[in-house]
Amino acid sequence: MTGFEFIVLALATFRLTHLIVFDTITGFLRAPFIEVEEEVWEDGIVDEIVHVKGKGVRRFIGELISCYWCTGVWSAIIVYISYYFIPTIAYPIIIILALAAVSSIIHVMINKWSI
């Protein structure tokens, strides 16, 4: 694996993980497994408290998708295996995820520097 391939796969894994665990657009996928409660502190800080629903497989999936470390490992496995076994299908998706990851990183950096 070249350094470039590693970086592209890492960025795609980062973006896929964030998409699964945090993004609003995939909230409907998380809803059967987790419930998020917001708690506002006196100083205005908002904390999100995640409650995992159910038992058995439902709870397992909830624990998995509420933990970005756990989801990151599985996302990396999916990205890596798809890249090597179905590259025709996976490569365009991986490139799109990697580009979106770079875009997200740039947005965060710009927002941090402009404050």
Domain assignment present for residue 114? The answer is no
At residue 115, does pLDDT exceed 90? Answer: no
Domain assignment present for residue 111? The answer is no
Domain assignment present for residue 68? The answer is yes
Domain assignment present for residue 22? The answer is yes
Rounded mean pLDDT of 42-52?
87
Q: pTM to 2 decimals?
A: 0.85
Report pLDDT for 114.
76
The tally of domains found in the chain comes to 1
Query: Quick one: angle between helices 87-113 and 68-85, nearest 10?
Result: 140
SS3 content of the chain, % helix, strand, coil (to 5): 70, 10, 15
Domain assignment present for residue 39? The answer is yes
57 lies in which domain range? 3-106
Q: Rounded to the nearest 5°, which phi and psi values hold at 105?
A: -65, -45
